[in-house]
Amino acid sequence: MVATPLPGGSEPLPDDVAPARLRRRVLQVVALLGVLLLAVALAPGLGEVRDRIAHADPGWLVLAVALEALSCISYAVMFRPVFCNHMSRRTSWEISWAELGVGSLVPASGAGGLALGAWILRRGGMPAERIARRSVAFFLIKSSVNFVAVAVVGVLMAAGVGPHRSPFLTVLPAALSVLVIVGVLLLPRLGHGMEPGPDASKLMRAATATRRAVVGGTAEAVRLLRTGDPRILGGAIGYWAFDNAVLWATFRAFGVVLPLTIVLMGYLIGQLGGLLPLPGGVGGIDGGLIGTFVVFGAPAAATAAAVLAYRVILFWLPLIGGAVAFASLRRELADPERPDLCAPRIAA
């Protein structure tokens, strides 16, 4: 992988999260968002969407921004106890906000942000195997809240709680979520596999390392949850809940009150569009959310306006906070005297 060196001559920054590439991604996402806004502003047949946007309630939009800030803060709260309790709070907040900033630009549900965090922790002396294991654990804990919620909400909706929807929109997502949860919990049973021989190819070695990281990370996630640290579970729930609440608030800004069950179900199914390899997930997440909420019965014009507002907030707030944090980290990581990256007590 091509890499970009940092001041100080130490391990270079991976090219995937190099400043030049991230700047290009910012321009790409801004351009895509601009195209969406122009389409809404000029395209025929979208007059109702434009009318909704023109009459938006600014108070609800301000609340949506505040809720997204709380979601980002929850992510930062969760970061330190998962990766290193000995790390200073300042550094853990800078790394986590930098991850969020990259995550707003790179698709794959935040995995790009974790790659940046892994590089920073590696510079601080944390062993690569531990970083991989804890990164998988962090991702699984953060993501599992959504699947558990859909399983619970789907069963409740099928039992008559909230608006009536067909089993295809309630029982099926719940069942799939349960299967995903069970499958993840069974991953450690695969074991770490055999050690690759001296003549093994790079692909085989990479596959073995990935298997060990996933298996070890899954077991690590369970172990971390069993510690009962409120910052881990509370941060994961807060990250998910406040982000859901942003969608709820943007719908309210455009005059639509959605039942909580619909918001929760629409959020997970719609977010699957973020797995598409699009800059910032623009187009994938938007289309997934709009389509899902319309299927669940939300009015199309209000849904388009609400999702567009949600995506603008979801892009800009983490990006601005992440840019500030990343700039600080780049300056300070070049200082060999910086003592707080967890290296001295990493084995503890």
Residue 208: is its pLDDT beyond 70? yes
pLDDT digits (tens, 9 = 90+) for 82-141: 988 888 888 889 899 988 888 777 655 556 677 778 878 887 778 878 888 888 899 889
Rounded to the nearest integer, the mean pLDDT of the chain is 78
Q: Give, to the nearest 10 degrees, the angle between helix 58-83 and helix 89-103.
A: 120
pTM for the structure as a whole:
0.80
Measured between alpha carbons, how far is 344 from 339 in angstroms, rounded to an integer?
8
Measured between alpha carbons, how far is 66 from 312 in angstroms, rounded to an integer?
14
- Listed residue (108, 111, 79) closest to 95, CA to CA: 79
| pLDDT reported for residue 173 | 81
Greater model confidence, 66 or 297:
66
| pLDDT reported for residue 31 | 74
pLDDT digits (tens, 9 = 90+) for 275-318: 544 544 555 577 778 888 888 888 888 898 899 899 889 888 98
pLDDT digits (tens, 9 = 90+) for 242-282: 999 999 999 999 989 988 888 888 888 777 655 544 544 55
| pLDDT reported for residue 335 | 65
Q: What is the C-alpha end-to-end distance of the chain, expressed in Å?
A: 32
* Upper half-sphere CA count for residue 118 (Cβ side, 13 Å): 23
CA gyration radius, the chain: 21
pLDDT digits (tens, 9 = 90+) for 151-169: 888 888 888 776 767 777 7
| pLDDT reported for residue 19 | 64
